[in-house]
Amino acid sequence: MAQSYDPRRLVGIRAERVTDVSSRDFPGHYPGEDHSWSLERFRENLTVKIQRASERSIEFDLVGVDASIANAFRRIMIAEVPTICIENVYVYNNTTVIADEILAQRIGLIPLNVDPKQMDMKLDEDSTDRNTLVFTLRLECTRKPDAPKDSTVPSELYENYELLSGHLTWEPAGEQADVFAKNPPAPTNPNIVLAKLRPGQAVDITLHAVKGVGKDHAKFSPVATASYRLLPNIVIKKPIPPHLAEKFQKCFSPGVIHVDPRTKAVSVDEKNKRKDTVSREVLRHPEFEGYVELSRVRDYFLFSVESESAYLPQRLFPEAITVMRAKLANIRRAAEALLDQPGDTDVVMTDS
C-alpha cells in the first residue's frame, strides 16, 4: 500500500511550475487550529533516521522540521563548523615554476587530520602552542645517477620531482608533542601534488596552521558538500494500462517504479522512491495525463553530507547543532542584558 501524506505537507510538482512551496503552519493561518510552538508536539513528529554511512560521507533523514531549521544546519555545516587549515605561508626559497602566491593558495587548501577540539581559535596576533601548528616543507629535485639513457619518464630520471602534501613535516612546539602524540598532525591525504620540480629546483617553506571557519575562507569548510533535498512523492491516480507499464517505469529513476512481471501492474516502490530525481519526464507524455501526481514532502529532508576534514561524517551534524546552540546562547545573553536596562529605551537605541 502506498504511503500517503497529509496534502498540506506536499509541495506540488507540475509540468512547468511548483505549487505550495511555503509552509503555512503558523498560528492564525488556519482558523480554529493551534499551530503555536509546542516542544511535545515537535518531539512526537520528529524523526531522525540515519540511512547509510561510510568513512567519508553520511546520509540521513530529518523529518518534521521547518526548512528554516534544516537550512540553518546545512549552512552551519558548510560555513561555521571550525577546522584546522594552513593560514600563513613563509617562503624562504621557491625556484619551481609555480609562483609563491599560487603555491601558498594550494598549500592552504590541504585538509589536515587535526581534531579542531584540540586547538583554540587564534583571536589576536599572539601565536601559542594552543592555537598554531607549524609545518615545514623542504624538497630539492635532483637527477638520478643511474637513470636509463633514453628514458623520458620523470620517475626514472629524477629524484623528488613532485612536491606532495605528504612532504609536510610537523614541528611540535611546547606541549604539542604530548597533546598530539596519538595522532600527529598531517594531511588527511599524502598524495596531493602541490608542484612539479625539475633538477635544480627546490622549495623551503614554513607553514602556520590555525583554526578557522568556512565563512572566512572556503578552505576551512569541513565538508565537501552538505546538502538536502525533499523526499519525492509519486501518487498513481488510476491503474497504468499494461502496455504502457514499461514506458511509465522508464520515466522515473531505476528502482522507483515496480512493474509486476506477470500482471504488468504498476506500483511505486516506497523504499526506493527517494531515489527519484523528479525529472518530470512522466508529465511530458500525453498518454499519462491524469494518471500520476508528483510532489515532494515539505518537511522531509534527505541530508547528504560528505566530510573532507578531520571530522568523522557522523560527527558533523552534532557539531553543527553545537555551533547553532552557542550562537543562540550568545544572542540570548545579549537580549537578556537589554531586559535589565531601565524602561527608558533611549539608552540602547542606535542611529543606524
* Contacts to another protein by CB under 8 A: 26-28, 35-37, 39, 42-43, 46-57, 60, 62, 65-66, 68-69, 71-72, 75-76, 79-80, 123-124, 189, 314, 317-318, 321-322, 324-325, 327-339, 343, 345, 348-352
The least distance separating another protein from the CB of residue 85, rounded to whole angstroms, comes to 19
**Residue (55 or 178) nearer to another protein, CB:** 55
For 76, phi then psi, to 5°, come to: -70, -40
The least distance separating another protein from the CB of residue 33, rounded to whole angstroms, comes to 11
327 membership: H or E segment, kind and range: helix 313-339
**Residue (169 or 189) nearer to another protein, CB:** 189
**Residue (25 or 293) nearer to another protein, CB:** 25
DSSP string computed for 43-103:
HHH-EEEEEEE-SSEEEEEEES--HHHHHHHHHHHHHTS-EEEEEEEEEEEE-SSS-HHHH
The least distance separating another protein from the CB of residue 23, rounded to whole angstroms, comes to 8
**Residue (28 or 145) nearer to another protein, CB:** 28
Contact between residue 212 and residue 142 where contact means Cβ atoms under 8 Å apart: no
Q: Can you give the C-alpha Rg of the chain in angstroms?
A: 28
Contact between residue 232 and residue 276 where contact means Cβ atoms under 8 Å apart: yes
**Type of residue numbered 299:** D
307, three cell numbers: 566530510
244, three cell numbers: 504502457
Sheet holding 202-212: strands in order across? Answer: 83-94, 202-212, 133-140, 169-171
The least distance separating another protein from the CB of residue 54, rounded to whole angstroms, comes to 4
The least distance separating another protein from the CB of residue 27, rounded to whole angstroms, comes to 4
**Residue (113 or 136) nearer to another protein, CB:** 113
**Residue (168 or 320) nearer to another protein, CB:** 320
137, three cell numbers: 616543507
The least distance separating another protein from the CB of residue 165, rounded to whole angstroms, comes to 13
Using alpha carbons, list the distances in angstroms from residue 181 to 86, 108, 184, 199, 211: 20, 24, 6, 36, 19
- For cell 531522525, name the residue: 48
The least distance separating another protein from the CB of residue 25, rounded to whole angstroms, comes to 8
**Residue (237 or 333) nearer to another protein, CB:** 333
